[in-house]
């Protein structure tokens, strides 16, 4: 009887502990977990199972690694807020698969993403024909964001493409809009933004800038 009570206590304790750990690590949907999030989740789950199964062992011996993993995840999450490069390494980057109605086969190859995957995800969004798509973006979570063509041929669908994030210029996105870094700095200087490092986020769409300064 005592053994069953210990198992019940450990189960309830670990349930509360793991719930608290995930709350402290931050909220994310399952489909949006990064590789680091997924690895930590699997390790914590395994540690919890072992802690419940081995009721004769010291509970803190299994709780300590969980707390260490929680601290590691919180530290990496904090660093990723400060560094886009680290975010790209941990979470990956969105990839434009269809750009203005044209499929980018090179982008698909880089992501090991084939036409069967593309057609499947388009069907899941009730889109029967690729010709109906203006933009399709493969998100870092693996989901596909789709923007259909407007009914009016005179209206072009515009998507937000960041050209500055966390004070860093995203050169590859500038190339997508046929611009360069010299053009960007000149345009920002005209608008009174001489220091790019002070800009948290900047995009250029519909021939206009959206600019958000850090800590504003």
Average pLDDT of the chain?
83
Position 64 scores a pLDDT of: 93
Position 68 scores a pLDDT of: 93
Distance of alpha carbon 162 from alpha carbon 168, whole angstroms:
10
Residue among 94, 40, 212, 18 nearest 10 (CA) = 18
Half-sphere exposure of residue 40: CA atoms within 13 angstroms, side-chain side: 23
Distance of alpha carbon 44 from alpha carbon 17, whole angstroms:
11
The 10s digit of each residue's pLDDT in 182-202 is 999 999 998 899 899 889 889
Distance of alpha carbon 73 from alpha carbon 170, whole angstroms:
26
Give mean pLDDT, residues 112-133. Answer: 87
The 10s digit of each residue's pLDDT in 144-164 is 999 888 755 445 556 778 899
Q: What is the pTM of this model?
A: 0.57
- Ordered DSSP codes for 30-94: GGG--HHHHHHHHHHHHHHHHHHH-TTS-THHHHHHHHHHHHHHHHHHHHHHH-HHHHHHHH---
Distance of alpha carbon 167 from alpha carbon 159, whole angstroms:
21
Whether the CB-CB separation of 157 and 135 falls below 8 Å is answered with: yes
Q: Which residues pair with 98 in a beta bridge?
A: 103, 136
Position 65 scores a pLDDT of: 92
- Beta pairing class for 102-103 and 144-148: unpaired
């Amino acid at each position: 009887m005592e053994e069953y009570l210990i198992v019940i206590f450990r189960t309830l304790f670990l349930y509360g502990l793991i719930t608290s750990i995930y709350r402290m690590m931050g909220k994310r949907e399952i489909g949006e977990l990064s590789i680091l999030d997924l690895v930590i989740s699997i390790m914590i789950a395994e540690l919890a199972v072992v802690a419940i199964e081995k009721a004769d062992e010291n509970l803190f011996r299994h709780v300590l690694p969980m707390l260490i993993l929680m601290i590691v995840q919180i530290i990496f999450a904090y660093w990723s807020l400060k560094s886009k490069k680290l975010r790209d390494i941990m979470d990956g980057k969105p990839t434009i698969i269809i750009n203005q109605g044209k499929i980018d086969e090179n982008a698909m190859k880089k992501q090991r993403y084939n036409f069967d995957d593309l057609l499947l995800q388009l069907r899941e969004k009730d889109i029967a024909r690729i010709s109906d798509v203006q933009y399709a973006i493969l998100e870092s979570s693996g989901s596909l964001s789709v923007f259909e063509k407007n009914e009016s041929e005179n209206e072009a669908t515009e998507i937000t493409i960041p050209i500055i994030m966390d004070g860093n210029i995203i050169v590859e996105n500038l190339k997508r809009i046929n611009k360069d870094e010299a053009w960007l700095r000149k345009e920002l200087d005209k608008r009174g933004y001489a220091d790019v490092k002070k800009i948290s986020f900047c995009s250029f769409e519909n021939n206009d800038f959206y600019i958000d300064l850090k800590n504003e």
